[in-house]
């Protein structure tokens, strides 16, 4: 029996992974640009530049595709947060400036396209039990990964503070709520009045 050499198998595996990633990127783009209702498989197929057969090969249903897109979003979000932190200026691990910058980085995550794509899925999940169940599991996994990245952003001194977990949850829920207002009132996020309030709150909580 002939065995295909590993080196000859790899290109097919890479192409398959690339095709799947292209489709998922297109699904995220469709959610951001057209909303959940407009993110049809036909639109996603067009944005991805793939055949109908190839799209259905990877994702037999629209629901399966959009749930996979949500998981894809989670990976993108974690990766981007880590890249931002790696490029951040050096601050003393215990300095107030470290707190301020961590708050800025966290707020920026709510201004990215993946936030709006995720919100489209959240709203759709309200009336779609299957989607809701899948998203709930995905959000739990994402939550644990994000907690680790946020702790790294704030540094070991601040993240070990007794009040850090409560602060993290408060910042997350507050930022999500404020970010949603940008759907009807687009403005400069870097100049948002809440940013200084969050920094003040974080400094006080971690003092």
Q: Is the pTM of this model over 0.75?
A: yes
What average pLDDT does the segment 159-166 reach? Answer: 96
Q: Is 50's pLDDT higher than 90?
A: yes
pLDDT, averaged across the chain: 86
- Contacts for 149 with CB less than 8 Å, ≥ 6 apart: 78, 81, 82, 85
Q: Is 4's pLDDT higher than 80?
A: no
| Better-scored residue on pLDDT, 161 or 7 | 161
What average pLDDT does the segment 2-30 reach? Answer: 69
Residue 24 Cα distances to 29, 117, 179, angstroms: 9, 12, 24
| Better-scored residue on pLDDT, 51 or 3 | 51
Q: Is 72's pLDDT higher than 90?
A: no
| Better-scored residue on pLDDT, 1 or 168 | 168
Q: Is 87's pLDDT higher than 80?
A: no
pLDDT at site 88: 67
How far is 82 from 74, CA to CA, in rounded Å?
A: 13
Structural tokens at position 103? 């708050």
Alpha helices in 39-163 (DSSP H): 41-48, 52-58, 62-86, 96-108, 113-125, 129-159
What average pLDDT does the segment 22-50 reach? Answer: 94
Whether 57 maps to a domain, the answer reads no
How far is 32 from 121, CA to CA, in rounded Å?
A: 10
96 touches 154 (CB < 8 A):
no
The 8-class DSSP code of residue 89 comes to P
How far is 206 from 25, CA to CA, in rounded Å?
A: 38
Whether 46 maps to a domain, the answer reads no
- Contacts for 72 with CB less than 8 Å, ≥ 6 apart: 21, 24, 25, 27, 28
Whether 49 maps to a domain, the answer reads no
Whether 35 maps to a domain, the answer reads no
State the residue range of the domain holding 198: 64-205
Whether 24 maps to a domain, the answer reads no
Give pLDDT tens digits for 135-157.
888 788 778 888 888 898 898 99
Half-sphere exposure of 93 (CA within 13 A, CB side): 9
pLDDT at site 13: 46
Whether 181 maps to a domain, the answer reads yes
What share of the chain has pLDDT > 70, as a percent?
90
Any idea which of 13-17, 22-26, 27-31, 94-98 has the lowest mean pLDDT?
13-17
Number of independent structural domains in the chain: 1
């Amino acid at each position: 029996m002939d065995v295909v050499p590993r080196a000859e198998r790899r290109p097919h595996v890479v192409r398959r992974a690339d095709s799947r990633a292209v489709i998922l990127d297109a699904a995220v783009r469709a959610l951001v640009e057209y909303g959940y209702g407009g993110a049809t498989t036909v639109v996603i197929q067009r944005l991805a530049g793939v055949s109908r057969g190839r799209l259905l090969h990877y994702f037999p249903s629209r629901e399966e595709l959009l749930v996979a897109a949500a998981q894809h979003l989670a990976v993108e979000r974690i990766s981007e947060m880590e890249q931002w932190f790696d490029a951040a200026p050096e601050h003393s691990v215990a300095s107030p400036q470290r707190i301020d910058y961590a708050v800025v980085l966290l707020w920026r995550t709510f201004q990215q396209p993946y936030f709006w794509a995720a919100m489209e899925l959240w709203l759709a999940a309200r009336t779609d039990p299957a989607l809701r169940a899948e998203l709930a599991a995905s959000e739990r996994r994402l939550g644990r990964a994000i907690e680790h990245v946020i702790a790294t952003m704030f540094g070991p001194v601040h993240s070990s503070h007794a009040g850090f977990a409560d602060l993290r949850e408060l910042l997350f829920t507050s930022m999500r709520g404020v970010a949603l207002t940008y759907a009807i009132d687009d403005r400069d996020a870097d100049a948002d009045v809440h940013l200084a309030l969050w920094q003040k709150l974080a400094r006080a909580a971690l003092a």
